[in-house]
Amino acid sequence: MTAGLVGRTALITGSGPGIGAAIATGLARAGLDVVLLARSADQLDETAKTIRASASSVEVRIVTTDLTKDNQRTTAIDDLLSGGQVDVPINNAATVEPLGARTTISPAQLWQAFENDLIRAGRGVRRALAEAVRDAVRTGRLAPGTRLPSSRRLAADLGLARNTVADAYADLVAEGWLTARRGSGTLVADRMITRPILARSAAQLSGNPCYDLIPGNPDLTAFPRAAWLKATRRALAAAPDDAFGYGDPRGRPELRAALADHLARARGVYVSPEHILICAGVSHGLQILSAVLAGRGARNVAVESYGPDRYCGLLGAAGLKTLPLPLDTHGTDPVPPLGTEAVLLTPAHQFPVGTALQRDRRTAVVDWARRTGGLVLEDDYDGEFRFDRQSVGALQGLDPDCVVYLGTASQTLAPGLRLAWMALPPTLAEEAVAAKGQIDSCEVFSQLTMAEFITSGAYSRHIRAARRRYRDRRDALVTALAQHAPKVRVIGTAAGLHTVLGLPPGTEQQVLQSATRHGLKVAGLSRYRHERSLNAMADALVVGYGVPSDAAWPQALSALVRILS
C-alpha cells in the first residue's frame, strides 16, 4: 500500500484487508477525503464500503486508470507519491466514481493537483497517521494484540519519512494505544473497544446548517480577546506574590473591591468588599446558599413558576423543598406562603418569561423578608441588558440586610470564565464562606484579570457594545415577525439575550419539530414550567438571540421566520 496527502485529500493505492483498510478508514474518520487508486474498481469495493460505513460525511472516490505497461505494479500516481519519476504515460481518462454519481477528469488535471500540493511528511501527516491508528483501535478494526508493521516498512509503504511513522508510533505508545517491546515489535494494547455513536439531527442529514437559539448564552465570537489579554498582562505585572497562593476563600481582594464599586454604580447594589463572595457561577452560589439555609434549619424555598430546572435540583440536593409562586397577568406574585424561609427570584428580566418584577411587588417581597426574617435570593439575570430604558436597580438596594445578590460574567462576557459573585448580608457572610470551604475554588488569574478589566473601564465599554448588539438583534427579530408572522406575539420587556414568542394554541410541539428539521435549536416555554405549578402559560417559544455570531444571525433569523410564517 502507498499513501500520501494532497491538501485535505488522502491518496491511497493498493488498499486491501488488514492494516491498509484500517489506515484508509482512519484517515477518513480524521476528516480527510479519500481517493482509492487501482487498475480495477473491483479491487477496492470492500475498502470503499468500509470507509463509507464508518465515515459517511467525507467523500470517498475510486480512481481507475488504463496503462500502456501492464507489468507495472503501481500507476503513474503511485510513482508520484513515492517520489519517483513519471515515466509511465496514461493514455485514457481516469474515471472518478463518487457516491451515487459518475464524472470524468483527465490525467492532466490529476497531475496538476498532485504536483502543486503534494505533501509527503510533516506534523500534519504524523497527526493524521496517529489518529488513523487510534481510531482503528478504538472501533475494533485493529484488535488487541495485533502486530503492526515496523516503522521502516510502514514508512516505505506509505511513502513517508521513517521518523514521521516512528514519532506517530511513539505518541500512541505514550498514550497507551500501542505497546512496544524489544524483540516483540509494536502491538495494539489491550483496551475496551468502543464504537462511537454519531448522532445526527434531521438538519445535518439534509445538509441544512444548524443555528443555536437556546437561551442563556452570549455571542462567544464577540469576546473581547484583545482587551482581555491587555488586562491580563497588566494584572499579572501588578499582582503581589501572595496572589499565587491559596488565598482568601472569599476571592481576590482586588476583584471584590472592583465589584463593590462597579455594582454600586451600575446596579445600585450596596455592599462592602468584605461581604462579597466570588464563586464559579450562579449555580455554585446557589449550592453555597442551599447549604447555609439547610444548616439554619430551613425546609422550603419559594421559586418562580417558570425557571431553570437546575436551580430546583440544586436546592433539592440540599434537602430543600421548592414551592412554585403564583403567576398572573402582571407576572410573578413574589410573596411566599407561610412556612417559607427564602424566595428565589429573577426580578430584572424573569427567566424565561421575560417580564420585570413590578415596583409594588418588589417592595412587597422585601417587606416580607423584613417581617419574617426570611431571605430574598436575587439572581440578577440579564440585569445589564435593558434596551428600552435605563436598567432598573437591583432589588438588593432596597434592603442589603435581607437580600442576597447574585451576579455573573457568564452573560456579559463568557460562561467559560467561571466567574460569579454574591453580595451577602453581613449576618450571612461568615456562614457562606464556611460553606464554600477554606480553599478558593475560583482560578486566580481570571479574578485578577477581571479586576483590572473592571477598573480600567473596559468592562463597562464591553457591556455598552454588547447591549447595542443584542438590542439590534431583538429589533430585527420583532420587525421580521411583524412583517412575515404577524400572528406570533412578542412577550416580555425589551431586555436580555432572549425573548418569548407566543404561538397559536396547541402548536408548540409542532413548531419545535419543524425547527429541528430546519436546523434550529429552540426551546418551548413548557420545558421551564415547575412540575408543581398550578399556573400554565399559553404555547410559546423561548428564543435566544445571543449565541449566533453577527455573520450567522441574519441566516438564523430567516430560518426562524420561515417556520413561524
User: For the range 92-96, what are the long-range contacts, defined as Cβ-Cβ under 8 Å and sequence gap of 24 or more?
Assistant: 92/65, 92/66, 94/63, 94/64, 94/65, 95/63, 95/64, 96/61, 96/62, 96/63
Helix (H, G, I), strand (E, B) or coil at 358: coil
Tell me what pLDDT residue 330 has: 83
Tell me what pLDDT residue 91 has: 33
Cβ proximity of 515 and 507 under 8 Å: no
Between the CA of residue 29 and those of 1, 23, 128, 134, 313, what are the distances in Å? 19, 10, 10, 10, 39
Q: Which among 76, 41, 81 is positioned nearest to 61, based on CA atoms?
A: 41
Tell me what pLDDT residue 256 has: 96
pLDDT in tens, the chain (565 residues): 445 554 455 666 554 444 455 555 555 555 556 666 655 555 556 666 666 565 554 455 555 544 333 333 334 444 333 333 333 333 333 333 332 332 333 333 333 333 333 333 334 677 877 887 887 788 777 778 888 888 888 777 666 788 888 888 888 988 888 988 777 788 888 865 555 544 554 554 454 558 899 998 999 999 999 999 999 999 999 999 999 988 889 999 999 999 999 999 999 999 999 999 999 999 999 999 999 999 999 999 999 999 988 899 999 999 999 999 998 888 889 999 889 999 999 999 999 999 999 999 999 999 999 999 999 999 999 999 999 888 889 999 999 999 999 999 999 999 999 999 999 999 999 999 999 986 556 889 999 999 999 999 999 999 999 999 999 999 999 999 999 999 999 999 999 999 999 999 999 999 999 999 888 999 999 999 998 888 889 999 999 999 999 989 999 999 999 999 8
pTM: 0.66
Tell me what pLDDT residue 87 has: 31
Tell me what pLDDT residue 148 has: 84
- Sorted by sequence, the CB contacts under 8 Å of residue 87 that are 6+ apart come out as 79
Tell me what pLDDT residue 174 has: 87
Q: What angle is formed at CA 320 by the lines to CA 318 and CA 322, rounded to 5 degrees? A: 130
Helix (H, G, I), strand (E, B) or coil at 64: strand
Alpha helices in 219-354 (DSSP H): 225-238, 253-267, 282-295, 309-317
Tell me what pLDDT residue 80 has: 37
Give the phi and the psi of residue 178 in degrees, each rounded to 5: -125, 160
How many Å separate Cα 14 from the centre of its chain?
Answer: 41
- The Cα–Cα gap between 273 and 263 comes to 11
According to DSSP, the β-strands at 342-345 and 375-379 are parallel
Tell me what pLDDT residue 497 has: 94
Tell me what pLDDT residue 137 has: 81
